[in-house]
Chains A and B, each alone.
Chain A
């Protein structure tokens, strides 16, 4: 029983970060119809910016987190304006290829700038685990989980309650009509891409201190983010959240009770099942954004 509870807690922490990664991707996918292969690289960027701010510039851990989110959003905005805006009316394949290019370019730039040796981000939390009866969790992981939940809630509120969110939902439903109603499509696209990239950077900065930071860390993150998006349905924010948690817990239980060698296989079996029985995702609805 203690083992099961510990597995569930581990899965929840892991799933929270998957959800954070998935939300950014699903927004960009759903709203802009762009398959963002570089999503994982914004995750890596967040981790490296946080490392640079902390270890090199010597600023506070929490301030570094903020710097990482701002840097991710800024680069995301730049990426949209310079690369994606001119291609807005091109097919999905064209932008997909461009994003694969961005992925390769960013990863190699990181390799060039930081070298292949993994970096470790120092964090101010005590290393001794917090013990709740039969389960234990490191304070830094608990912080990551709470902050991830906060960011997910903030994203949902932004989309549901703000003017920007309403414009985003309108653009998602019908881009041309939204444009006729006076929504600045260019501005909405740039904001969405910056938003999604900022969330990915936040995930990187949050997980950097828990794991290690190295140039290819984004590959695995991308893979998980795509899985989450498929599970939850394109452009579906609660779906991505649920999908992330489900994937994290399934992987954890699969590794714990079947075999750790099949950890990723368990995740993909669930994706196949979802695709077979609910092809448009767990929480698919007509209006898929939020």
Chain B
């Protein structure tokens, strides 16, 4: 090899290195997502994923964040807390994501949380309702979904109009279900309602007849039901089979009324549902234009309409993380966490802004989401009478 060749080779190497530098800063921004894509609550997890993908594509259509494309790394927690923890570890250690959105169920989120603290990576919680998530003193948690207490407070003004006098509870036996019974029970007791029995069902249980027979014996007027749409469908069908005539109120926002109408039919008639998104009336949402755009995009992709009440969570979670990365100016976990305290944006649900919650010095972030109540009437989703007049 002559001198000239060596010079030429050096030139090529320098040129390659020069090319590689801008390439480096153009690498996509990775955002981790942990959702239940299989297992008993897979439907909900998949809808959240679809919403997250819409947020990603909208961001990228507008040129990404600071000129860099957004890439979602989506992990399946299999509706299982153990898997949620290992998914978080994988995203943080192997993929080095600056932030994670997850993990749908409260038990899954709680299982992933120690990993966040161990490695110092923030997580935006898009669905989980258990109070303990923001009360444990994990400063890497930022929740945009309402904890059960907030939901209960949101419902308080309607308790008299709903005519709740004697109430029973049926909830999934997870942190979410147990937390929900405590929160709604406290609120209803304060409002002077008599509380009957509190029954639980396993997440994978399909036969709830024993619980329903027991509930039937209390002679109450209202049943508060807390679980995902699959089990709500079964409970409503089985309640109808047992001639259990109760006002049913579902909590947690994962009831997907449209899917209930489809799968439970007449058994779902008259039930009330606490939801955090009303795709039936996007104009009634805080940002009607954004809500409408999201509903239209969802339909354009051929996603099922019934998934919208979960799907918006994915959009809002990713939009929140993207905004934080934009504010931080870099995709570094610590900078993103600092920035999350300063974000203020409009999500499909409404304004997102974090306030401190939990033990002093180790506070988690908690946003104050909007809460709505809808009713299934004549096989359609409608605003309840006491809300419809305005």
Contacts and interface: CB of A to CB of B under 8 A. Distances in A.
Interface of A: 3, 6-7, 10, 14, 111, 115-118, 120, 127, 129, 131, 136-138, 141, 207, 210-212, 214-217, 219-220, 251-256, 259-261, 263-264
A261 B173 contact: yes
17 contacts: A6-B242, A7-B210, A7-B213, A111-B42, A115-B42, A116-B37, A116-B38, A141-B241, A207-B206, A211-B234, A212-B234, A214-B40, A216-B40, A254-B210, A263-B202, A263-B205, A264-B202
Interface string B32-54: 00000111101101100000000
Nearest to B204: A220
B201 interface: yes
Contact of B42 (A117, A210, A259): A117
Given A10-B210, A116-B43, A127 B266 contact: yes
Contacts of B262: 120
A255 B215 CA distance: 12
B209 interface: yes
A43 to B, nearest CB: 12
B189 interface: no
Most buried by B among A3, A10, A118, A259: A118
Given A212-B233, A215-B38, A260-B200, A10 B267 contact: no
Nearest to A10: B209
B263 A3 contact: no
Contact of B207 (A14, A136, A217): A14
Contacts of A111: 38, 42
Contact of B200 (A207, A256, A261): A261
A125 to B, nearest CB: 11
B40 A263 contact: no
Nearest to B242: A136
A253 B211 CA distance: 10
B75 interface: no
B209 A219 contact: no
Contacts of A263: 201-202, 205, 210
Given A10-B213, A141-B241, A260-B199, 10 more contacts: A6-B209, A10-B210, A116-B37, A116-B38, A116-B42, A118-B263, A216-B204, A220-B204, A255-B210, A260-B211
Interface in B191-234: 199-202, 204-207, 209-211, 213-214, 216-217, 230, 233-234
Nearest to B306: A117
Contacts of B202: 263-264
The 10 A-B residue pairs whose C-beta atoms are closest, nearest first, are A116-B42, A255-B210, A138-B241, A10-B209, A120-B263, A117-B43, A211-B206, A256-B210, A261-B200, A260-B211
Given A120-B233, A129-B243, A3 B213 contact: yes
Interface residues of B, number: 38
A256 B214 contact: yes
Most buried by A among B202, B241, B242: B241
A262 to B, nearest CB: 9
B88 to A, nearest CB: 20
Given A116-B43, A118-B43, A256-B214, A14 B241 contact: no
Most buried by A among B43, B205, B206, B263: B206
B227 to A, nearest CB: 13
B287 to A, nearest CB: 28
A216 B46 contact: no
Nearest to A258: B210
Contacts of B86: none
Contacts of A127: 237, 240-241, 265-267
A215 B237 CA distance: 21
Contact of B241 (A137, A217, A219, A259): A137
Contacts of B206: 207, 211-212, 217, 220
A40 B214 CA distance: 30
Contacts of A259: 200
B240 A219 contact: no
A203 to B, nearest CB: 13
Contacts of A138: 240-241
B42 A219 contact: no
Contacts of A251: 210
